[in-house]
Amino acid sequence: MNVYRTRAGLRHQFRDVLNFYYPACIDTTVGGYVAQLDERDGHIYDSRTRHLVATARGVHNFSLGVLADGPDWCRYAAEHGLRFLSTAHWDADREGYDWLLDSRESTDRTRYCYGHAFVLLAGARALQAGIPGARAELERVFDVLEERFWEPEHGLYADRASPDWALASYRGQNANMHACEALLAAYEATGEDRFLERATTVADRFTREVTSATDGLLWEHYTEDWEPDLSYNEDEPRHQFRPPGYQPGHHAEWAKLLALLDDHGSASWPLERAIELFDTAIELGWDEEYGGLYYTVAADGEPIVPDKYGWVHTEAIGASALLAPHDEAYADWYDRLWEHSVEHLRNPKYGNWYERLTRSHERDDPNRGTAVEPGYHPLTNCWLAMDVLEDEPAAFE
C-alpha cells in the first residue's frame, strides 16, 4: 500500500520538509528567512538575499505547520517571517512590496502581481493560524492588488509595474493563477464572499474564455489585450520563469485550484474543467520512456524542455488527491506520481524536494539562485491530501 494514502505517511513527509528549513532558515540578526539552502545537504550558500516570494512562502509554510498541529516552533517561525514581510518588504512611500532585498536594503522595487499574490496567501494562512498582524497584512495587500493590478475590463490582473506603478504591457497566466490561489485562501480564512467572487471571476475568465484561443490549452504569455503571444521567449526555451510552450505542471495546478473552487461553489463547470486540465497534463506531459511529467511541451505534446521539476509533480499529486473522490482513476495517478517522486525527486536523506532533474533524472547543476523554492509546493499538497483523507477517506481505499 502507498504510505501516502495514510495521514501518518503524509504527516511524516510534511514534517520532513519543515525540519529541512527550520531552524537554519531563521535569521535573528537581519530578520526574516534565509531561503537559500542547498537542496542536497541544507548548507546556506547565500545568507543575505531576501526574496519577496520566498519570504511570503515561508510565512505560509509555517502557518500550515500550525494548522496541521506541527512542531511548536512553527508559530514562532510564522510570526518571525510575518514581521519581516510587513516591515522590510513593504515600501510605505510607494505602497507596495519590494521584490528583492540585500538584508534589509531594497535592490529591486519592481512590483510583481505574482509576489503580491503570495503576500495575500501568506496573510490568509497566517490569519487561519492566528498569527498576530495577519488580518492587517491581508487587507493591505488585497487593497494593492485591487487598486494597482486589477483590470475590470478584462476580469484579470496585470502582471507587473515599475516602482512608481507604471504597468508593463506583458500579461501572464502565472500571476493570475497564484492570485486565484490566494483569493481562495483568503475566502477560507475570512468566509467573505468578495474573495470567492474574485477567485471565481479570475478562474472563469482565464481557464474558459482566454484559453479558447488555444483550443483550451493554457498558454503562459499574453499581450496587453490578453491575446496569446505565441512567439514570447521562443529563442529562450530554458528561460527560468517565462519559458515558451505549454506547462503540464500549470495544467495540473489549475486543476487543483478548480477542484477547490468546486468545493466552495454550486456551479458544475469548475470540476468539469479541473478534470479536463488534469487529463491534459497527463496526456501532453507524461514521459512514457523515463516516467514523470515534462516541464514544457508543444501543443502536440512534443517536449520542449523535458526536464523533471519537483514542483510539477507535487502539484499533480495535490490535484489527483482532490479529484480522487470523484473518480478512482485519479487515486491511481496519485499513487503513480508518489512512486515516481519518491524514487527520483525527493531527497532520500532529508525529505526535501529537488528543484529540477534532467529527463532521465540526473542532477546537472546545484539549482541555486535568489528565487528559490522553500518547500511551498510539497507542503501545500501534502496538506491538501491530508484534508482529503480526513474528509473523504474512502477515496483512497
State the pLDDT at residue 353: 96
Phi/psi region, residue 369 (left: phi>0; alpha: psi -120 to 50; beta: rest), is: left
Q: Whole-angstrom Cα distance, residue 148 to residue 167?
A: 9
Whether the predicted model's global pTM rises above the 0.75 cut = yes
> Could you tell me how many residues make up the chain?
397
Task: Say whether pLDDT at 337 is over 90.
Answer: yes
- In the beta sheet, which residues pair with residue 37? 44
State the pLDDT at residue 373: 81
| Helices and strands (DSSP H and E) totals, the chain | 12, 17
H-type alpha helices, the chain: 7-21, 52-67, 73-87, 113-128, 134-144, 173-190, 193-204, 248-264, 269-285, 310-323, 328-344, 376-391
Above pLDDT 70, what percent of the chain? 100
Residue 218, C-beta contacts closer than 8 angstroms, at least 6 positions apart:
173, 206, 207, 211, 246, 247, 250, 251, 254, 277
State the pLDDT at residue 267: 86
* Strands 100-102 vs 49-51: parallel, antiparallel or unpaired: antiparallel
State the pLDDT at residue 397: 79
Q: Are 48 and 382 in contact (CB under 8 A)?
A: no
DSSP 119: H
State the pLDDT at residue 240: 82
The per-residue pLDDT for range 263-280, each reduced to its tens digit, is: 998 789 999 999 999 999
User: What CATH number should be reported for the domain whose range is 3-396?
Assistant: 1.50.10.10
Mean of the pLDDT values across residues 202-209? 98
State the pLDDT at residue 371: 78
Q: What is the mean pLDDT of the chain?
A: 96
Task: From the candidates 251, 313, 344, 377, give the one annotated as an active-site residue.
Answer: 377
Give CA separation, 274 vs 188, 266, 307, 330, 379, in Å. 20, 15, 24, 12, 21
Q: Are 49 and 83 in contact (CB under 8 A)?
A: no
The per-residue pLDDT for range 50-64, each reduced to its tens digit, is: 999 999 999 999 999
Task: Say whether pLDDT at 394 is over 80.
Answer: yes
Give CA separation, 110 vs 107, 132, 135, 150, 159, in Å. 9, 28, 25, 17, 11
Please give the order of strands across the beta sheet that includes 49-51: 49-51, 100-102, 105-108
Task: Say whether pLDDT at 393 is over 90.
Answer: no
Banded pLDDT at 356 (limits 50, 70, 90): very high
Q: Whole-angstrom Cα distance, residue 377 to residue 382?
A: 9
Task: From the candidates 80, 89, 250, 340, give the one annotated as an active-site residue.
Answer: 250
Active site residue 154: no
Active site residue 340: no
Q: Are 67 and 387 in contact (CB under 8 A)?
A: no
